[in-house]
Amino acid sequence: MQKNLKQKIVLIVAVLLVFIYGIIGIPSGVSGKAFKDAITSRIHLGLDLQGGAHLILQVMVKEALNAETDNTVQRIQQDLKAANLAYGRVFKPSPLSSSDDPNAKPEVIQIAGVSPAQASQVRTILDDKYSNQYDIEGGNGDVPFSVTMKATEITSLNQRTLQQAIEAIRDRVDTLGVSEPVIQQYGLGDNQILVELPGISDMDKVKSIIQSTARLEIHAVVGGPYKDDQEAAAAQGGAIPPEDMVVHGSGSMAAGGSDEVYVVQRVAIVAGNEFRSADPGTDQNTGQRIVNFTLTNTAGDKFYDYTSKNVGQSMAVIMGGHIREVARIDNAIRDQGYIRGSFSQDEVTILSKMLRTGALPASLEYLEDRTVGASLGADSIREGVTAAVVGVLVVMAFMLVYYRSSGINADLALFLNLVILLGFMGFSQSTLTLPGIAGVILTIGMGVDSNVLIFERIREEIRAGKAAAAAVDQGFNHAWITIVDTHVTTIVSAAILFLFGTGPVKGFAVTLTFGLLANLFTAVYVSRVIFDSHLTKLKTGEMVSI
């Protein structure tokens, strides 16, 4: 019995040391600062405690889908030409005109005007090249072919777009020099991204880094410059044809150039992710700031193809839906070129960085943003810790007074509970939020419940006349099942909270769960061992102090 007891005590001390290690690791020294550093490197503070910025962004995945099907339209046209098959038009009957248009169906492409004689050949080509990703229907008689992207393909495209956006944002956020930024998919809705930047409170700076100039493309100019939209439509014969679109902007370099209207082809010649690199530079002739860019190989081929056939035509550089520059094609360009504009030094650097890290595949919309200033965060920490300390002291004092020496037992178990809880958090690198501190306080209250259950039962057994050892034994046995029941139900609540909650609430669920698990160990095992070691010291007939 003695040896068994010694082993148990050794186990408990070992557990204590392990979890103390979890909290502070191996501190570099014994000064207060060394401890503080050691703790903060293991237990991270949430945004509401250390201050920082929090954003939720919606990725407009329909835009990427739109761009992809635009691409496919071009490829179909090339394939049909290459096979010498005549067609009327390849177009999208319901393209995306604005990012949040709910009625647009950019995933549908139609091929009209195919003669019935060639219909089956067309069908063969379509089946051959596109049936993996698209459903192909129609083509009989007057019904045009309809090529629709498969639902599974759309889903996987959306997922890729989301991942690309996350990567691009991560690159851009790096320039802010934030330690431990959080950029990940956000589960509350579809295609949402969560960005958390501890230590940064200037939301404007964050947004300008992340969101502005989302997309950069080069389009062929059909007509312009016009004074306004009506003039543009009139010049096109009354209405803008569906394969073109109207864009505003300034086509000249002059600063403050008046807002002009151009009609450009809807399908871009070259789009954002086809830029391989971009660097700031200076125009040899004019001394203007420019951005030198290089395209990827495939894009370079495409660009060369286009520019060599269209010398003398104009093309427009469009950023974020606005024209930045209209340039005339003087000769064929393969994959190296430059963009001129009225840029400041900062703009040139930022633009280059954005092109380099790959433009965002789709534009982003804010759903939510929050910032917490550092001094308010510090206030929260102070308040939370004060409440916790007062709570712990009150509970410990009460247990001592009400249960006498057994109260020491309960207090030791409580202390160990807190150590294990914080150690858990250190090991799992979880984040402590203000509700998390509340969770710690709640754990204290609920944890002591187990001790009360056991002690009350022991008192009952003593009243019923049992001897010390038997009373303790019975007390633990009867209380055990109830303790398990109560802990399981609360942990289930906490688990549901963790699944459904957002950041700070998740922190609460985590501390509550860890605390209760720790409590299962301390209130039952550790308390029992302390009682047992106390019992061995009792003389015969002496009763436990409870």
Partner 1 sequence: MEFFRTVNIDWLGKKWYFLAFSLIFSVAGVCSMVWHWQHIGSPVPLGVDFKGGTQLQIQFDQVPDIEAIRQATVAAGINDASIQNYDLPVRHEVLISLPEQKNEAALDTGRQQIVDALHAHYAGNPFKDSGVKVDVVGPTVGKQLQRKAGLATLYSMAGMLVYLWFRFQLIYGVAAVVACFHDTLITVGFFALTGQEISLTVIAAILTLVGYSMNDTIVVFDRIRENLRMSRRETLPDVVNRSINQTLSRTVLTSGLTFLTVLSLYIFGGRVLHGFSFALVVGILIGTYSSIAIAAPMLVAWQQWRTGKGKSAQLPAARRARV
Residues 442-501 that bind partner 1 (CB under 8 A): 442, 444-446, 448-449, 452-453, 456, 459-460, 478, 480-482, 484-486, 488-490, 492-494, 496-497, 499-501
- Kindly tell me which of 153 and 460 has the beta carbon lying closer to partner 1: 460
SS3 string, 303-351, reads HHHHHHHCCCCEEEEEECCEEEEEEECCCCCCCEEEEECCCCHHHHHHH
Which one of residues 189, 238, 287, 541 is an interface residue with partner 1 (CB under 8 A)? 189
311, two tokens? 């010398």
299, two tokens? 């894009």
Contact set for partner 1, span 69-128 (CB under 8 A) = none
Edge-to-edge strand order for the sheet containing 89-91? 89-91, 108-112, 145-149, 134-137
- Kindly tell me which of 6 and 382 has the beta carbon lying closer to partner 1: 382
- Kindly tell me which of 263 and 518 has the beta carbon lying closer to partner 1: 518
Where does residue 150 rank: exposed (0-12), middle (13-18), buried (19+ CB within 10 A)? middle
442, two tokens? 């709640």
Least distance CB 524 / partner 1 (angstroms): 12
Stretch that binds partner 1, among 64-72, 83-91, 506-514, 518-526 (CB under 8 A): 506-514
Contact set for partner 1, span 148-177 (CB under 8 A) = none
Pairing type for strands 89-91 and 336-340 reads: unpaired
Which one of residues 504, 513, 526, 544 is an interface residue with partner 1 (CB under 8 A)? 504
- Kindly tell me which of 509 and 530 has the beta carbon lying closer to partner 1: 509
Stretch that binds partner 1, among 3-11, 297-305, 311-319, 505-513 (CB under 8 A): 505-513
- Kindly tell me which of 40 and 402 has the beta carbon lying closer to partner 1: 402
Distance separating the N- and C-terminal Cα atoms of the chain? 23
- Kindly tell me which of 59 and 441 has the beta carbon lying closer to partner 1: 441
Which one of residues 61, 96, 395, 418 is an interface residue with partner 1 (CB under 8 A)? 395
Q: Where are the beta strands (DSSP E) in 424-538?
A: 431-432
Q: Where are the beta strands (DSSP E) in 438-516?
A: none
At 64, which amino acid appears? A
Residue 434 — φ and ψ, nearest 5°? -65, -45
Which one of residues 10, 34, 311, 376 is an interface residue with partner 1 (CB under 8 A)? 376
Least distance CB 445 / partner 1 (angstroms): 3
- CA 273 distance to own-chain centroid: 21
Contact set for partner 1, span 190-219 (CB under 8 A) = 201-204, 207
Which one of residues 181, 225, 300, 435 is an interface residue with partner 1 (CB under 8 A)? 435
Contact set for partner 1, span 396-425 (CB under 8 A) = 398, 401-402, 404
- What's the rounded Cα separation, in Å, for the pair 62 and 99? 7
At 411, which amino acid appears? D
Helix (H) or strand (E) holding 265: strand 260-270
Angle between helices 405-427 and 503-519 in degrees, nearest 10:
130
User: Among residues 389, 391, 385, which one has the least CA distance to residue 436?
Assistant: 385
- How would you label 481-491 residue by residue, b for 16+ Cβ within 10 Å and e otherwise? eebeeebeebb
Unique residue bearing structure tokens 């493309």: 217
> Is 48 a binder of partner 1 (CB under 8 A)?
yes
Stretch that binds partner 1, among 65-73, 123-131, 158-166, 367-375 (CB under 8 A): 367-375
Least distance CB 463 / partner 1 (angstroms): 8
Least distance CB 508 / partner 1 (angstroms): 5
Which one of residues 109, 166, 438, 462 is an interface residue with partner 1 (CB under 8 A)? 438
- How would you label 78-95 residue by residue, b for 16+ Cβ within 10 Å and e otherwise? ebbeeeebebeebbbeeb
Least distance CB 385 / partner 1 (angstroms): 9
User: Among residues 233, 234, 178, 229, which one has the least CA distance to residue 206?
Assistant: 178
Contact set for partner 1, span 328-357 (CB under 8 A) = none
- Kindly tell me which of 327 and 388 has the beta carbon lying closer to partner 1: 388
Which one of residues 13, 328, 373, 536 is an interface residue with partner 1 (CB under 8 A)? 373
- Kindly tell me which of 307 and 431 has the beta carbon lying closer to partner 1: 431
Stretch that binds partner 1, among 176-184, 258-266, 468-476, 508-516 (CB under 8 A): 508-516
Unique residue bearing structure tokens 């799992």: 428
Which one of residues 109, 183, 355, 509 is an interface residue with partner 1 (CB under 8 A)? 509
CB 432 within 8 A of CB 462: no
Length of the chain: 546
- DSSP type of residue 202: -
Residues that contact partner 1, how many (by CB under 8 A): 77
Question: Is residue 191 classed as helix, strand or coil in its secondary structure?
Answer: coil
Least distance CB 367 / partner 1 (angstroms): 5
Least distance CB 497 / partner 1 (angstroms): 5
At 345, which amino acid appears? Q
Least distance CB 343 / partner 1 (angstroms): 25
